[in-house]
Amino acid sequence: MAEILQDVVNAVSLGALYALFAVGLALVFSIAGIANFAYGDFAMVAGYVLVLVVALVWPLVVVVVIVAAMLLAVASDRLAFRPLRAADATTLLVASFALSSLLQHVMRGIAGNQPKGVDFGASVARPISIGDVTVPRLDLLTIVVVALTLLGLTLFLRRSFLGMQLRAAAEDFTMARLLGVPANRLIAAAFGLSGAIAGIAALLLTIRSGAVSIEMGLQPVLVAFVAIVVGGMGSLSAAALGGLLLGVVSVLLEVLLPPDLKPYRDAFLFTFVVLVLLVRPQGLFVARGAEARI
Amino acid sequence: MARLAPAVERVWPLLALALLVVVVTATLGPGVDIEIWLINTILVVGLYVFVGNSGVMSFGHVSFVALGAYVGAVLTIPELTKQLVLPDLPGFLGTVELSTTAGTLAAGALALVVGYLVAIPLMRLSGLAAGIGTLALLVITNNFLLNYEPLAGSGTLTGVPTDATTGMILVWLLVAMAVAFAYQQTRSSLRLRASREDEVAARAMGVPVERDRRLAFALSAGISAIGGALYGHYLGAFGAQFFYFGTTILIIGMLVIGGQRSLTGAIVGALAISAITTWLDRWEAGESALGIALELPAGSREVLFALLVLLMLKLRPDGITGGREVPWPSRWLASRSLPARTEAGR
């Protein structure tokens, strides 16, 4: 029983982290139509910023890392994506691949190829015992942080003026523009928000692994990509649910797969994705027809 | 002459491109890694057959390059070497020993079949979902190769016969170009191009979009695998890491920069980027290229390449060639001398 509960906490915490990434990616996708492959690299750069400022008091570290990721995201939009506003989704995806490669190689030039260990948040990495269940504090922290972040994001989108504009733009971008919503500023805001989420995710990821590396953004962004497709493109809650589902499925695979098939967990995960797409190409959690009308 | 001209004119783009490739090989060949240029061009032509005709971007074609490289290697490594480097191969794979050409052909044929099978589910998706579906294919392949120990896993597969000569690779490239060009003349390609311009309208006209996409996907997988097999036979050793995002972005970048809607674009893009990266490599190593001695920091090749892709997407989204094939000289001259062309100009 205790073992099952531990697996559940583990699954929910991984799912929460994936959900966070998926929401960050979906924010930009639902508003600007950009499937931003460089999103994981925002988190990667934020991780290296963490290495730089880790000596400061921890609240300041958290703020600096998040702000750095926001600035990087907004600058990326201004320099790489804004010139391509009129392009189609696939061209934007290619552009984001190029941006991802750019960020990785610039970072490699600055920081070298080797992963760097970071001594940050070691105290939350220790396990905690509740009754006879032992879970890492980090798992609980991840779940709490993600829940708070998503709650904050929801409140922001529902209650603030900018949030209202963002929701309107996600619903129908052309209509929102016709009604006077400033497109470029809005997309920049979406990038800023997604950058902040990338910063938070980078903090959680780095505590989890205790190190940063050039490739650290790849796995999360792949999962987030798949999460927004599985969940349903264009809807934030669908993306969050998609991320959660993927986290749960991936822990399930980890637990249930026979040992000699365990290394192939990701292959099974992505096969699952293709299967989902076959049954429901529009995503699992989208009720109304999301296909573009002619 | 009057009778010959129309026939020549029809295949002119292919002839001109073949000439270009041969001339580049002959003139630059001795000084640079021309084999890698040519193999890259095969890979870009392979990607182009699907992407150029259908308009759907594929991020998964490097999977077929990997398939080609591994199958080509397993089929041709001499039995004695195989017992040493790949002792755990299942079944007849441990003993089979083909020539390089036969192995390459077999790899291409297998990829044709696998490509068709994979396309059955993938081609039911469209737009961005299709792009992400192909991305999933790449991740699955990489995950498998990195962990499958009988094929060297995350290590390096060595002992592949290194008998792919420049001439042999050049011939394969010319064959790939001819196949791509011939496919372009078929109904299937025309229908795909119609669906590329307007999928809904094409479907309304009765175009079997999925069927044609599957066909183009299989063909392009086959060409990619042949490129992969030659890659293995040129280098003699390779690892699974090569067949992942780095190579994917390089091949896609070449196609995008050249112009993804024409064979000319694929060839021009592949050769141009190969040339640029070769020079940047030399400058990174502190040697002189093009008569200029520069010393660039390591990694600047990839950084500049990424910047070039971004810049190209902004300035010329249709690439260098803008989707056109090599024009027939007389028409090109005519269009130059008659600036104000009328509708009846053709």
What pLDDT sits at residue B3? 66
**Which of B58, B135, B316 is the best mutation test for A, with the most CBs of A within 10 A?**
B135
Nearest chain B CA: its distance from A125 CA (Å): 28
Largest CA distance in chain B: 70
Predicted confidence at residue A292, as pLDDT, reads 52
Interface A:B, Cβ pairs < 8 A = 116
pTM score:
0.88
pLDDT at A199: 94
Which of A95, A105, A294 has its CB closest to that of B310?
Answer: A95
Check A274 against B127: CB less than 8 A apart: no
pLDDT at A290 exceeding the cut of 50: no
- CB-CB neighbors (< 8 A) of B297 in chain A: 109
> What is the interface pTM, i.e. ipTM, of the complex?
0.83
How much is the pLDDT for A235?
Answer: 74
Q: Which residue of B has its CA nearest to A282?
A: B129
Alpha carbon of B217: minimum distance to chain A alpha carbons (Å): 17
Name residues whose C-beta falls within 8 Å of residue B58's C-beta, 6 or more positions apart in sequence.
B47, B50, B51, B131, B134, B217, B220
What element of type H or E holds A148? Answer: helix A137-159
pLDDT over 80 at A134, yes or no = no
Query: B335 pLDDT band (50/70/90 cuts)?
Result: low
Instruction: List, for residues B243-284, the tens digit of each pLDDT value.
Output: 998 899 899 999 988 888 899 999 999 999 998 888 888 887
pLDDT band, residue B332 (cuts 50/70/90): low
Question: pLDDT tens digits, residue range B270-328?
Answer: 999 998 888 888 887 777 767 676 777 777 788 888 898 888 888 888 888 877 888 87
pLDDT of residue B247: 92
Q: Position B24: which residue type?
A: V
Interface probe for A, chosen from B139, B145, B250 (most Cβ of A below 10 Å), is B139
Nearest to B200 among A225, A281, A294 (CB): A294
Specify the pLDDT at position B344. Answer: 39
Question: Which pLDDT score, from 0 to 100, does residue B333 have?
Answer: 61
List CB contacts (< 8 A) between B306 and chain A: 98-99, 101-102, 105
pLDDT in tens, B140-175: 999 999 988 888 777 888 888 888 888 899 999 999
Closest-CA distance of chain B to residue A74, Å:
17
Question: pLDDT value at position A5?
Answer: 80
Q: Give A-chain residues touching B313 at CB under 8 angstroms.
A: 84, 87, 91, 94-95, 98
Contact A270, B136 (CB under 8 A): yes
Is residue A26 scored above 80 in pLDDT?
Answer: yes
pLDDT value at residue B269: 92
* Averaged pLDDT for residues A256-277: 83
